[in-house]
Protein backbone atom coordinates (compact mmCIF):
# COMPACT_ATOMS: atom_id res chain seq x y z
CA UNK A 1 0.00 0.00 0.00
CA UNK A 2 2.52 2.56 1.28
CA UNK A 3 0.69 5.81 0.46
CA UNK A 4 3.18 8.71 0.65
CA UNK A 5 0.78 11.13 2.40
CA UNK A 6 -0.14 8.57 5.05
CA UNK A 7 3.50 7.65 5.60
CA UNK A 8 4.39 11.32 6.07
CA UNK A 9 1.62 11.70 8.68
CA UNK A 10 2.86 8.75 10.69
CA UNK A 11 4.79 9.43 13.87
CA UNK A 12 6.90 6.29 13.67
CA UNK A 13 7.60 3.24 11.54
CA UNK A 14 7.48 -0.17 13.23
CA UNK A 15 9.22 -2.95 11.26
CA UNK A 16 8.36 -6.63 11.77
CA UNK A 17 10.23 -9.58 10.28
CA UNK A 18 11.77 -11.08 8.31
CA UNK A 19 11.49 -13.54 11.21
CA UNK A 20 8.86 -12.83 13.85
CA UNK A 21 7.05 -15.13 16.26
CA UNK A 22 3.62 -13.94 15.10
CA UNK A 23 4.26 -14.24 11.36
CA UNK A 24 5.41 -17.84 10.88
CA UNK A 25 6.50 -17.00 7.33
CA UNK A 26 9.54 -15.12 5.93
CA UNK A 27 8.11 -11.74 4.98
CA UNK A 28 8.72 -8.20 6.21
CA UNK A 29 6.07 -5.74 7.37
CA UNK A 30 6.46 -1.98 7.74
CA UNK A 31 3.71 -0.48 9.90
CA UNK A 32 3.38 3.30 9.86
CA UNK A 33 1.86 4.30 13.18
CA UNK A 34 0.28 7.47 14.53
CA UNK A 35 -0.59 7.41 18.24
CA UNK A 36 -0.36 3.58 18.21
CA UNK A 37 -2.89 3.34 15.35
CA UNK A 38 -1.79 1.95 11.98
CA UNK A 39 -2.22 4.59 9.24
CA UNK A 40 -0.44 2.65 6.48
CA UNK A 41 1.31 -0.66 5.90
CA UNK A 42 3.77 -2.16 3.47
CA UNK A 43 4.46 -5.87 3.09
CA UNK A 44 7.60 -7.14 1.35
CA UNK A 45 8.07 -10.77 0.36
CA UNK A 46 10.22 -12.81 -2.03
CA UNK A 47 12.89 -14.33 0.17
CA UNK A 48 12.02 -17.98 -0.37
CA UNK A 49 12.16 -18.21 -4.17
CA UNK A 50 13.32 -21.63 -5.38
CA UNK A 51 12.83 -21.33 -9.15
CA UNK A 52 10.56 -24.35 -9.54
CA UNK A 53 8.87 -23.03 -12.68
CA UNK A 54 12.22 -22.56 -14.41
CA UNK A 55 13.46 -25.97 -13.23
CA UNK A 56 10.48 -27.62 -14.92
CA UNK A 57 11.41 -26.40 -18.39
CA UNK A 58 12.41 -29.32 -20.60
CA UNK A 59 11.21 -31.94 -18.13
CA UNK A 60 8.87 -34.74 -19.25
CA UNK A 61 5.45 -33.53 -18.15
CA UNK A 62 4.87 -36.48 -15.78
CA UNK A 63 8.07 -35.65 -13.89
CA UNK A 64 7.36 -31.93 -13.89
CA UNK A 65 3.90 -32.43 -12.41
CA UNK A 66 5.37 -34.34 -9.48
CA UNK A 67 7.70 -31.38 -8.91
CA UNK A 68 4.69 -29.02 -8.62
CA UNK A 69 3.71 -30.90 -5.49
CA UNK A 70 6.94 -29.67 -3.88
CA UNK A 71 5.86 -26.04 -4.21
CA UNK A 72 4.18 -26.37 -0.82
CA UNK A 73 3.85 -29.03 1.85
CA UNK A 74 0.44 -27.79 3.04
CA UNK A 75 -1.35 -27.49 -0.32
CA UNK A 76 0.65 -30.08 -2.25
CA UNK A 77 -2.31 -32.08 -3.64
CA UNK A 78 -4.05 -29.12 -5.29
CA UNK A 79 -0.84 -28.20 -7.14
CA UNK A 80 -0.38 -31.59 -8.76
CA UNK A 81 -4.11 -32.03 -9.35
CA UNK A 82 -4.55 -28.65 -11.03
CA UNK A 83 -1.45 -29.18 -13.17
CA UNK A 84 -2.59 -32.68 -14.17
CA UNK A 85 -6.06 -31.35 -14.91
CA UNK A 86 -4.55 -28.64 -17.10
CA UNK A 87 -2.70 -31.22 -19.23
CA UNK A 88 -5.77 -33.44 -19.49
CA UNK A 89 -7.85 -30.47 -20.67
CA UNK A 90 -5.20 -29.45 -23.19
CA UNK A 91 -4.82 -32.94 -24.70
CA UNK A 92 -8.48 -33.97 -24.38
CA UNK A 93 -7.73 -36.95 -22.12
CA UNK A 94 -10.76 -38.66 -20.61
CA UNK A 95 -10.60 -39.30 -16.86
CA UNK A 96 -12.76 -41.93 -15.10
CA UNK A 97 -15.33 -40.53 -12.68
CA UNK A 98 -13.91 -42.71 -9.91
CA UNK A 99 -10.61 -40.85 -10.25
CA UNK A 100 -12.41 -37.49 -10.10
CA UNK A 101 -14.07 -38.52 -6.84
CA UNK A 102 -10.80 -39.60 -5.24
CA UNK A 103 -9.03 -36.42 -6.37
CA UNK A 104 -11.81 -34.38 -4.74
CA UNK A 105 -11.48 -36.45 -1.55
CA UNK A 106 -7.76 -35.66 -1.45
CA UNK A 107 -8.40 -31.96 -2.01
CA UNK A 108 -11.00 -31.69 0.75
CA UNK A 109 -8.84 -33.61 3.22
CA UNK A 110 -6.06 -31.18 2.37
CA UNK A 111 -8.41 -28.24 2.92
CA UNK A 112 -9.28 -29.69 6.32
CA UNK A 113 -5.68 -30.02 7.45
CA UNK A 114 -4.77 -26.56 6.04
CA UNK A 115 -7.67 -24.81 7.79
CA UNK A 116 -7.00 -26.62 11.06
CA UNK A 117 -3.32 -25.67 10.87
CA UNK A 118 -4.38 -22.04 10.30
CA UNK A 119 -6.78 -22.14 13.25
CA UNK A 120 -4.16 -23.71 15.51
CA UNK A 121 -1.69 -20.92 14.73
CA UNK A 122 -4.42 -18.26 15.01
CA UNK A 123 -5.34 -19.30 18.54
CA UNK A 124 -1.65 -19.54 19.44
CA UNK A 125 -1.12 -15.92 18.36
CA UNK A 126 -4.21 -14.92 20.36
CA UNK A 127 -2.70 -16.61 23.40
CA UNK A 128 -5.37 -19.31 23.71
CA UNK A 129 -3.13 -22.36 24.03
CA UNK A 130 -5.98 -24.78 24.81
CA UNK A 131 -7.85 -24.00 21.58
CA UNK A 132 -4.59 -24.09 19.65
CA UNK A 133 -3.74 -27.59 20.88
CA UNK A 134 -7.30 -28.74 20.22
CA UNK A 135 -6.94 -27.72 16.57
CA UNK A 136 -3.74 -29.71 16.22
CA UNK A 137 -5.46 -32.66 17.88
CA UNK A 138 -8.24 -32.45 15.25
CA UNK A 139 -5.66 -32.14 12.49
CA UNK A 140 -3.89 -35.36 13.42
CA UNK A 141 -6.79 -37.68 12.37
CA UNK A 142 -6.94 -35.78 9.06
CA UNK A 143 -3.25 -36.45 8.49
CA UNK A 144 -3.90 -40.10 9.36
CA UNK A 145 -6.69 -40.21 6.77
CA UNK A 146 -4.38 -38.75 4.14
CA UNK A 147 -1.77 -41.35 5.04
CA UNK A 148 -4.42 -44.08 4.90
CA UNK A 149 -5.55 -42.85 1.47
CA UNK A 150 -2.19 -42.22 -0.17
CA UNK A 151 0.58 -43.71 1.97
CA UNK A 152 2.01 -40.26 2.81
CA UNK A 153 1.24 -37.51 5.31
CA UNK A 154 2.61 -34.59 3.31
CA UNK A 155 3.23 -35.18 -0.41
CA UNK A 156 0.49 -37.60 -1.46
CA UNK A 157 1.00 -37.79 -5.25
CA UNK A 158 -2.56 -38.99 -5.83
CA UNK A 159 -3.26 -37.80 -9.41
CA UNK A 160 -1.47 -38.97 -12.53
CA UNK A 161 -2.37 -38.07 -16.09
CA UNK A 162 -5.53 -40.02 -16.90
CA UNK A 163 -6.59 -40.80 -13.33
CA UNK A 164 -5.00 -41.67 -9.99
CA UNK A 165 -2.21 -43.93 -8.80
CA UNK A 166 -3.48 -47.46 -8.07
CA UNK A 167 -2.18 -47.31 -4.48
CA UNK A 168 -4.59 -44.42 -3.83
CA UNK A 169 -7.67 -46.35 -4.91
CA UNK A 170 -10.33 -46.91 -2.25
CA UNK A 171 -11.59 -50.44 -1.66
CA UNK A 172 -14.55 -51.40 0.54
CA UNK A 173 -12.53 -51.73 3.75
CA UNK A 174 -10.71 -48.42 3.23
CA UNK A 175 -14.03 -46.73 2.50
CA UNK A 176 -15.64 -47.93 5.73
CA UNK A 177 -12.60 -46.94 7.78
CA UNK A 178 -12.54 -43.43 6.30
CA UNK A 179 -16.29 -42.96 6.88
CA UNK A 180 -15.91 -43.99 10.53
CA UNK A 181 -13.01 -41.56 11.02
CA UNK A 182 -15.01 -38.76 9.37
CA UNK A 183 -18.06 -39.38 11.57
CA UNK A 184 -16.01 -38.92 14.73
CA UNK A 185 -14.23 -35.84 13.38
CA UNK A 186 -17.50 -34.25 12.23
CA UNK A 187 -19.12 -34.53 15.66
CA UNK A 188 -16.07 -33.18 17.49
CA UNK A 189 -15.53 -30.27 15.07
CA UNK A 190 -19.17 -29.16 15.29
CA UNK A 191 -18.94 -29.00 19.07
CA UNK A 192 -15.59 -27.21 18.95
CA UNK A 193 -16.75 -24.70 16.33
CA UNK A 194 -19.82 -23.85 18.38
CA UNK A 195 -17.62 -23.30 21.41
CA UNK A 196 -15.20 -21.03 19.52
CA UNK A 197 -17.77 -18.65 18.03
CA UNK A 198 -19.47 -18.34 21.42
CA UNK A 199 -16.28 -17.84 23.42
CA UNK A 200 -16.39 -14.32 24.84
CA UNK A 201 -12.60 -14.03 25.12
CA UNK A 202 -11.93 -15.01 21.48
CA UNK A 203 -14.83 -13.10 19.93
CA UNK A 204 -14.13 -9.86 21.81
CA UNK A 205 -10.48 -10.01 20.72
CA UNK A 206 -11.07 -10.35 16.97
CA UNK A 207 -14.60 -9.18 16.13
CA UNK A 208 -13.77 -5.53 15.43
CA UNK A 209 -10.30 -5.68 13.89
CA UNK A 210 -8.98 -6.20 10.39
CA UNK A 211 -12.03 -4.85 8.58
CA UNK A 212 -11.96 -5.45 4.82
CA UNK A 213 -15.01 -4.20 2.95
CA UNK A 214 -16.52 -6.10 0.04
CA UNK A 215 -15.40 -3.36 -2.33
CA UNK A 216 -11.81 -3.45 -1.07
CA UNK A 217 -11.75 -7.25 -1.13
CA UNK A 218 -12.57 -7.10 -4.84
CA UNK A 219 -10.33 -4.10 -5.56
CA UNK A 220 -7.22 -5.53 -3.90
CA UNK A 221 -7.74 -9.13 -4.95
CA UNK A 222 -8.48 -11.01 -1.72
CA UNK A 223 -9.13 -14.66 -2.52
CA UNK A 224 -10.68 -17.75 -0.98
CA UNK A 225 -12.03 -17.50 2.59
CA UNK A 226 -10.60 -13.98 2.89
CA UNK A 227 -12.79 -12.82 0.01
CA UNK A 228 -15.87 -14.76 1.14
CA UNK A 229 -15.51 -13.40 4.69
CA UNK A 230 -16.08 -9.93 3.19
CA UNK A 231 -19.32 -10.91 1.47
CA UNK A 232 -18.02 -11.94 -1.98
CA UNK A 233 -19.93 -15.07 -2.96
CA UNK A 234 -17.47 -16.93 -5.17
CA UNK A 235 -15.75 -20.29 -4.95
CA UNK A 236 -14.14 -22.06 -7.92
CA UNK A 237 -15.71 -25.32 -6.75
CA UNK A 238 -19.10 -24.12 -7.99
CA UNK A 239 -17.60 -23.88 -11.50
CA UNK A 240 -15.23 -26.88 -11.64
CA UNK A 241 -17.23 -29.82 -13.12
CA UNK A 242 -15.64 -32.36 -10.76
CA UNK A 243 -17.42 -30.55 -7.92
CA UNK A 244 -20.54 -28.87 -9.29
CA UNK A 245 -21.77 -31.92 -11.21
CA UNK A 246 -21.41 -34.38 -8.34
CA UNK A 247 -21.62 -32.83 -4.88
CA UNK A 248 -23.99 -30.73 -2.82
CA UNK A 249 -22.30 -28.24 -0.51
CA UNK A 250 -22.68 -24.69 0.76
CA UNK A 251 -20.31 -21.85 -0.09
CA UNK A 252 -19.58 -20.19 3.27
CA UNK A 253 -20.04 -16.42 2.96
CA UNK A 254 -20.00 -13.89 5.81
CA UNK A 255 -20.65 -10.17 5.59
CA UNK A 256 -18.56 -8.80 8.48
CA UNK A 257 -15.15 -8.65 6.79
CA UNK A 258 -13.26 -8.84 10.11
CA UNK A 259 -10.70 -11.27 11.52
CA UNK A 260 -13.57 -13.05 13.28
CA UNK A 261 -15.28 -13.63 9.94
CA UNK A 262 -12.11 -15.00 8.36
CA UNK A 263 -11.69 -17.42 11.27
CA UNK A 264 -15.38 -18.42 11.20
CA UNK A 265 -15.28 -18.97 7.42
CA UNK A 266 -12.55 -21.56 7.80
CA UNK A 267 -14.29 -23.25 10.72
CA UNK A 268 -17.51 -23.71 8.76
CA UNK A 269 -15.65 -24.70 5.58
CA UNK A 270 -14.15 -27.61 7.53
CA UNK A 271 -17.66 -28.95 8.07
CA UNK A 272 -18.49 -28.52 4.38
CA UNK A 273 -15.31 -30.39 3.43
CA UNK A 274 -16.38 -33.31 5.60
CA UNK A 275 -19.76 -33.25 3.90
CA UNK A 276 -18.15 -33.40 0.44
CA UNK A 277 -15.80 -36.25 1.41
CA UNK A 278 -18.72 -38.29 2.76
CA UNK A 279 -20.67 -37.78 -0.47
CA UNK A 280 -17.66 -38.75 -2.57
CA UNK A 281 -17.08 -41.94 -0.58
CA UNK A 282 -20.75 -42.96 -0.60
CA UNK A 283 -21.18 -42.37 -4.36
CA UNK A 284 -17.78 -43.72 -5.50
CA UNK A 285 -18.33 -45.24 -8.98
CA UNK A 286 -17.37 -48.87 -9.53
CA UNK A 287 -14.82 -48.66 -12.35
CA UNK A 288 -11.11 -48.56 -13.06
CA UNK A 289 -9.54 -45.38 -11.62
CA UNK A 290 -7.16 -44.67 -14.50
CA UNK A 291 -7.24 -44.31 -18.27
CA UNK A 292 -3.93 -45.29 -19.86
CA UNK A 293 -5.14 -45.04 -23.47
CA UNK A 294 -3.68 -41.64 -24.29
CA UNK A 295 -0.61 -40.24 -26.03
CA UNK A 296 1.47 -37.27 -25.00
CA UNK A 297 2.55 -34.80 -27.64
CA UNK A 298 2.49 -31.15 -28.60
CA UNK A 299 0.06 -29.07 -26.63
CA UNK A 300 -0.59 -25.35 -26.97
CA UNK A 301 -1.06 -23.28 -23.85
CA UNK A 302 -3.63 -24.94 -21.62
CA UNK A 303 -4.96 -23.51 -18.38
CA UNK A 304 -6.79 -24.70 -15.29
CA UNK A 305 -8.35 -22.91 -12.32
CA UNK A 306 -9.31 -24.56 -9.04
CA UNK A 307 -10.03 -23.73 -5.40
CA UNK A 308 -7.14 -24.35 -3.04
CA UNK A 309 -7.54 -24.00 0.72
CA UNK A 310 -6.36 -20.37 0.47
CA UNK A 311 -8.32 -19.54 -2.69
CA UNK A 312 -7.90 -19.46 -6.46
CA UNK A 313 -5.02 -21.40 -7.99
CA UNK A 314 -4.06 -21.15 -11.67
CA UNK A 315 -1.74 -23.32 -13.76
CA UNK A 316 -0.71 -22.95 -17.38
CA UNK A 317 1.86 -24.58 -19.65
CA UNK A 318 2.60 -25.83 -23.15
CA UNK A 319 4.29 -29.04 -24.30
CA UNK A 320 6.60 -29.81 -27.20
CA UNK A 321 6.28 -32.76 -29.60
CA UNK A 322 7.79 -35.17 -27.06
CA UNK A 323 5.54 -34.08 -24.21
CA UNK A 324 8.20 -31.97 -22.49
CA UNK A 325 7.31 -28.77 -20.66
CA UNK A 326 8.13 -25.62 -22.63
CA UNK A 327 6.94 -23.09 -20.09
CA UNK A 328 5.08 -23.44 -16.81
CA UNK A 329 3.17 -20.74 -14.94
CA UNK A 330 1.77 -21.28 -11.47
CA UNK A 331 -0.18 -18.61 -9.60
CA UNK A 332 -1.24 -19.05 -5.99
CA UNK A 333 -3.57 -16.97 -3.78
CA UNK A 334 -1.36 -15.68 -0.96
CA UNK A 335 0.18 -12.73 -2.79
CA UNK A 336 -3.24 -11.21 -3.59
CA UNK A 337 -4.59 -11.83 -0.11
CA UNK A 338 -1.51 -10.31 1.55
CA UNK A 339 -1.91 -7.19 -0.57
CA UNK A 340 -5.49 -6.88 0.66
CA UNK A 341 -4.29 -7.17 4.26
CA UNK A 342 -2.16 -4.03 3.79
CA UNK A 343 -5.48 -2.18 3.52
CA UNK A 344 -7.28 -4.27 6.10
CA UNK A 345 -4.93 -3.43 8.97
CA UNK A 346 -5.22 0.36 8.49
CA UNK A 347 -7.09 1.70 11.51
CA UNK A 348 -6.06 -1.21 13.73
CA UNK A 349 -4.24 -0.68 16.96
CA UNK A 350 -0.57 -1.64 16.60
CA UNK A 351 -1.05 -4.78 18.70
CA UNK A 352 -3.89 -5.94 16.42
CA UNK A 353 -2.16 -5.36 13.08
CA UNK A 354 -0.10 -8.54 13.12
CA UNK A 355 -3.23 -10.58 13.90
CA UNK A 356 -4.99 -8.95 10.96
CA UNK A 357 -2.16 -9.64 8.54
CA UNK A 358 -1.73 -13.30 9.47
CA UNK A 359 -5.52 -13.77 9.42
CA UNK A 360 -5.31 -14.15 5.63
CA UNK A 361 -3.35 -17.42 6.14
CA UNK A 362 -0.29 -16.41 4.06
CA UNK A 363 1.92 -19.09 2.54
CA UNK A 364 5.19 -17.62 1.30
CA UNK A 365 6.37 -20.94 -0.10
CA UNK A 366 3.56 -20.70 -2.63
CA UNK A 367 3.80 -16.93 -3.06
CA UNK A 368 7.41 -16.66 -4.21
CA UNK A 369 7.02 -17.77 -7.79
CA UNK A 370 9.45 -15.65 -9.82
CA UNK A 371 12.44 -13.35 -9.55
CA UNK A 372 13.66 -11.24 -12.50
CA UNK A 373 17.31 -10.14 -12.52
CA UNK A 374 18.58 -7.87 -15.30
CA UNK A 375 22.26 -6.97 -14.91
CA UNK A 376 22.01 -4.39 -17.69
CA UNK A 377 19.69 -2.21 -15.65
CA UNK A 378 21.26 0.23 -13.20
CA UNK A 379 18.00 1.38 -11.62
CA UNK A 380 14.58 0.04 -10.63
CA UNK A 381 11.90 -0.23 -13.29
CA UNK A 382 8.30 -1.40 -13.56
CA UNK A 383 7.43 -4.49 -15.58
CA UNK A 384 4.57 -3.80 -17.98
CA UNK A 385 2.09 -6.59 -18.95
CA UNK A 386 3.95 -7.22 -22.21
CA UNK A 387 7.20 -7.64 -20.27
CA UNK A 388 5.57 -10.27 -18.06
CA UNK A 389 4.27 -12.19 -21.08
CA UNK A 390 7.67 -12.01 -22.78
CA UNK A 391 9.56 -13.21 -19.71
CA UNK A 392 7.04 -15.96 -18.99
CA UNK A 393 7.74 -17.44 -22.40
CA UNK A 394 11.52 -17.02 -21.92
CA UNK A 395 11.94 -14.96 -25.09
CA UNK A 396 14.88 -13.10 -23.59
pLDDT digits (tens, 9 = 90+) for 217-247: 999 889 999 999 999 999 999 999 999 999 9
Contact between 99 and 285 (Cβ < 8 Å): no
DSSP string, 232-300: ----GGGTSHHHHTT--------S--SHHHHHHHHHHHHHHHHHHHHHHHHT--SS-SB--------EE
Nearest residue to 212 via CA among 331, 361, 16, 347? 347
Residue 381 has pLDDT above 90, yes or no: no
Domains of the chain with CATH codes: 52-348 (1.10.645.10)
Tell me how far CA of residue 367 lies from CA of 45, 56, 247, in angstroms. Answer: 8, 17, 30
Give buried/exposed letters for 116-139 (b at 16+ CB in 10 A, else e): bbbbbbbbbbbebeebbebbbebb
Q: What is the mean pLDDT of residues 355-362?
A: 86
Percent of the chain with pLDDT over 70: 86
Instruction: Give the three-class secondary structure for 38.
Output: strand
- Write phi, then psi, for 209 (nearest 5 degrees): -120, 160
Nearest residue to 80 via CA among 304, 361, 295? 304
Give buried/exposed letters for 236-256 (b at 16+ CB in 10 A, else e): bbeebebbeebbebeebbbeb
Would the pTM of this model clear 0.85, i.e. be above it?
yes
Residue 285 has pLDDT above 70, yes or no: yes
Confidence of residue 396 (pLDDT cuts 50, 70, 90): very low
Q: What is the mean pLDDT of residues 277-295?
A: 94
pLDDT tens-place string over residues 46-86: 666 667 888 888 999 999 999 888 888 888 999 999 999 99
- Write phi, then psi, for 304 (nearest 5 degrees): -155, 135
Q: Which residues contact 347 (CB under 8 A, 6 or more apart)?
A: 37, 38, 211
Task: Report the DSSP pairing between strands 159-160 and 163-164.
Answer: antiparallel
- pLDDT at residue 4, as a whole number: 57
Confidence of residue 395 (pLDDT cuts 50, 70, 90): very low
Amino acid sequence: MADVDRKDRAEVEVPLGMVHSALLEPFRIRLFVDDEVVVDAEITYDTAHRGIERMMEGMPVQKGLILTERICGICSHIHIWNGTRMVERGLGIEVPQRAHHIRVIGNEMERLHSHLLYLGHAFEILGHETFSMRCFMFREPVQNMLFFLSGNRVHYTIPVIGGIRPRCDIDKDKKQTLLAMLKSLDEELKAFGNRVINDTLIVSRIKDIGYLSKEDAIKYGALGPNMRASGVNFDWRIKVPEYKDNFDFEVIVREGGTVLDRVACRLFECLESIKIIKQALETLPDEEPINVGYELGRMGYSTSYNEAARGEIYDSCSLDDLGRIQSYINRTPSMSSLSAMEVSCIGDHLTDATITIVSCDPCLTCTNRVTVVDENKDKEYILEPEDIRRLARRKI
